[in-house]
Amino acid sequence: MASAPRPLVAGNWKMNGLKASRAELGKIIEGAKANPVACDLMICPPATLLESFATVALGSPVAIGAQDCHAEPVGAFTGDISAEMLRDAGASAVIVGHSERRATHRESDADVKAKASAAARAGLMAILCIGETREEREAGATLARIERQLDGSLPDTLDAQKLVIAYEPVWAIGTGLTPTVKDVAEVHAFIRKRLLKGNERTGGAVRILYGGSVKPANARELMGVADVNGALVGGASLKAEDFLGIAAAYR
Ligand code: 13P
């Protein structure tokens, strides 16, 4: 079996950050240079900060990603931003299908698949988010939901350089709650199995991140679970100290 892929710790800043936040990015970069970690690092700021963050992070150990894209490359889509535009602004990745967008923008699995494909078309890595709700977990329907989301939103061809999966249980986001290590292991093993189906060569190289209330205090335990290849971090990624404290799980 191939060796585990290099982990990725990515910060999703959501709708947080103004120009002054460049100072926090600077602290993350300085910290990553001073104490190197054995994982890739990425910050996904709001679109307004992409270009300036990409400039600050150029040549540093921190990559810059975006939080969403439109599926089309150009056109009459007021307010939307294409994957090509994100790349042009300096992003190397884009989050697609975050549960907050699935909920508040009614994004379907088909929409998410189109966005993941748009990312690949533009040369961006897609961080494709999936995860069950509390009701689904309590009903024992977690794996069925994960399977449906993967079937409906995975791009037709898997490219480990262009695709990362993020398992984010909706009920664990911003709540301080996390699944047990056993539950994380079960879902990640299930995702890995599905990725390997028909893709023996690339399925093992696609990184599967865990996201949902990851903090410095629980990162080492969560990152130690089999088939957890990093983290997608919300709130704790806004503070350099916390974000670097999470990445330190890979030191
Ligand atoms: P929190 O880390 O704040 O729970 O958010 C997780 C998340 O939604 C990352 O995309």
The Cα 126–Cα 84 span in angstroms is: 13
Contact between 232 and 17 under an 8 Å Cβ cutoff? The reply is: no
The Cα 93–Cα 197 span in angstroms is: 25
Q: What's the pLDDT score for residue 201? A: 86
The Cα 248–Cα 61 span in angstroms is: 14
Q: What's the pLDDT score for residue 2? A: 59
* Length of the chain in terms of residues written: 251
Q: What's the pLDDT score for residue 9? A: 98
The Cα 167–Cα 178 span in angstroms is: 12
**Per-residue pLDDT tens digits of the chain, which is 251 residues long:** 457 899 999 999 999 999 999 999 999 999 999 999 999 999 999 999 999 999 999 999 999 999 999 999 999 999 999 999 999 999 999 999 999 999 999 999 999 999 999 999 999 999 999 999 999 999 999 999 999 999 999 999 999 999 999 999 999 999 999 999 999 999 999 999 999 998 888 999 999 999 999 999 999 999 999 999 999 999 999 999 999 999 999 99
Task: Compute the half-sphere exposure of residue 173: CA atoms within 13 Å on the CB side of its CA.
Answer: 20
Q: What residue type is 201 in one-letter code?
A: R
Strands of the chain (E only): list them: 8-12, 40-44, 62-66, 93-96, 125-130, 163-167, 207-211, 230-233
Q: What's the pLDDT score for residue 3? A: 77
Q: Which two tokens stand for residue 98?
A: 């975050």
Q: What's the pLDDT score for residue 200? A: 87
Domain boundaries in the chain?
A: 8-250
The Cα 61–Cα 55 span in angstroms is: 13
Q: Which two tokens stand for residue 1?
A: 């079996």
- The preferred substitution site among 8, 101, 133, 168 for testing ligand 1, maximizing ligand atoms within 8 Å of CB, is 168
Question: Residue 10 Cα, ligand 1 centroid: separation in angstroms?
Answer: 10
Question: Residue 141 Cα, ligand 1 centroid: separation in angstroms?
Answer: 22
What is the pTM for the complete model shown? 0.98
Which atom of ligand 1 is least distant from the CA of 172? 4
Q: Which residues are catalytic?
A: 98, 168
Which atom of ligand 1 is least distant from the CA of 176? 4
Question: Residue 184 Cα, ligand 1 centroid: separation in angstroms?
Answer: 15
Query: CATH top-level class for 8-250?
Result: alpha beta
CB-CB neighbours of 73 under 10 Å: 13
Task: Compute the half-sphere exposure of residue 159: CA atoms within 13 Å on the CB side of its CA.
Answer: 14
Q: What residue type is 29 in one-letter code?
A: I
Question: Residue 76 Cα, ligand 1 centroid: separation in angstroms?
Answer: 31
The Cα 246–Cα 189 span in angstroms is: 22
Ligand 1 pocket, residues with Cβ under 6 angstroms: 12, 98, 168, 173-174, 211-214, 232-236
